[in-house]
Every structure is written in C-alpha cells, then in structure tokens.
Amino acid sequence: MIKDKLHEPFEVLFKKVDECPIDGQTFSFFRLVYIVSGNGKQRVNNNQSNYKAGSLFLLTPDDYHTFDVESTTEFLLISFNNIYIQDNGLDSTCKQRMEFILQNANHNPGCILYNKSDKLLVKTIAESIIREYVNRDLYSKDLVQQLINTLIVIVARNIAAYLPEKISENTDEKAFDILQYIQTHIASPSKIRMNEISRHFGISESYVGRYFKKHTNETMQQYVTNYRTKMIENRLLHSDMRITEIAFELGFTDESHLSKFFKKQKGMAPSEFRKK
C-alpha cells in the first residue's frame, strides 16, 4: 500500500477519470474530495457509501480510502497538511474551525454536507476553484486559498451540527454558540470556567450547566475534557511538536500537568501514545 505525502501546505487537483484517482493509498495529510459529476461508491476502511454529483468527503490521515467509479467522474481534490493549519495566515477563530474538523473527522464514509443550503454554496465555491485552477491567472493561488478557507468554515459548520451526539440542526442556537465559545477558548482555562461562560452568555451559573447537558447530553466538564484530549491526540499524531510545546499552546501549566491529564484520560503517557 502506498502512503502519499504532501510537499506543499496545500494542493489542488482536478481529474476526470473512469477509475479511482487515489486507489491503493493512505495519506499523511487531510483531503477534501468534491464530486463535480459522476457516481459510484466511496470506501473507507472496508466501509462504503454511495457518491454522486454534489457530494463532499473529508479523507483523514492513515485511513485506507478508495472510490469505485461506476460512471465517468470529475473529482476535485483539495489536500492540506499541518503546515497549512499553522502558517495559513488565518485568524484564531478560523484556526479553531480547522482544529474542529481535524478533531471530529469520524473516519467513516459518507458525504459531510448535512445542511442542504450549503450544498449549493459548496457547488459555487468548487466551480470557482476549478476555474482558477484551469486558468492560473495572476493571484489565482491567493484566490484559491481564500476559497479553501471558506470551504473549511462550511465543513466545520456541518460537522458541528452533529457533535456532540445529541446536537442536531434543531438544537437551540445558543447551545451552538457555547460550543463554539469553548472551542475558541479551549487553551485559556480561565475563560471556560462555568462562572465565566455564565457571565458571557447571560445565563445564571446555577442553570448554565443543566442547559448545556440538556442540549448536548454531556456535562460541560466532560465536553471540555474530551475536546482537550482530542487536541492533544491530534498534535501527538500529526505534528512534530514537543510535549512541552503542546502543554504551553493548550494552556497547561507545564509538561507534567499535561502528562498527568492525558494519562488519566487515555491510560498512558503522551510519549507512549505517540510511539504506539
């Protein structure tokens, strides 16, 4: 099995083919795949789902991916790696959205567009990316990067709609706002204390915890703990950051504090997790 690597922060490819353009590969990066036309099946780790024009997939590192092409298919492939995340010139909120995608990609097949109104928007963005890719005019690369960033926001919104498990498109908008607030400030423990969240959203401290659990089926502390654990996992798996650097970035007092937290959640030290 070939493990494909990405030599640039991001890469765009447009292919019209009668067979899978990525067959027999795993990746060390993330890839968005948009189906411009055609139909067939997507397979991830021996699980499968149908694809058709308008489908958008998020392929994750180290999972086995392939597409069974049943009719000639136009694929738009957008790949990006950890360097893109860190050095993209995004503001902190956009970086948090990208982080959210990487943490919550579920390694399962299927289109990630749950919001119907987003499908038309993604179609327009994909067509614009293809046009710039084909023409390669002045500033095309800059325009493509901005369009990719917009896609990232859309993908994050669609993934967020189904996380935690009880979250859905019918969930109270304020619950979404609290989730996004926690994700944005996850590295600042003082900002995600119950009293600070209560003050920020104008909900009494005695009620905000019950409100959060009602709409997410998790306590706020459970959600914060799980999300911080996933962020640590992502850095251990997909970056060369030292554990002291991860601790500093995510608001732990030192490496020992992070290690103690991580071992309690995962049953092993961060260094052991990275080796395995």
Q: What is the pLDDT of residues 245-273, one digit of tens each?
A: 999 988 899 999 999 999 999 999 999 99
Q: Looking at the whole model, is its pTM more than 0.85?
A: no
- Structure-block tokens of residue 46: 């021996």
Q: Each residue of 12-36: pLDDT tens digit?
A: 999 999 988 876 566 677 889 999 9
- Structure-block tokens of residue 11: 């890469």
Which ranges of the chain have pLDDT less than 50? Answer: 1-3, 168-170
CB 204 within 8 A of CB 223: no
Per-residue model confidence (pLDDT) at position 1: 37
- Tell me the domains of the chain and their CATH numbers: 2-160 (2.60.120.10), 173-275 (1.10.10.60)
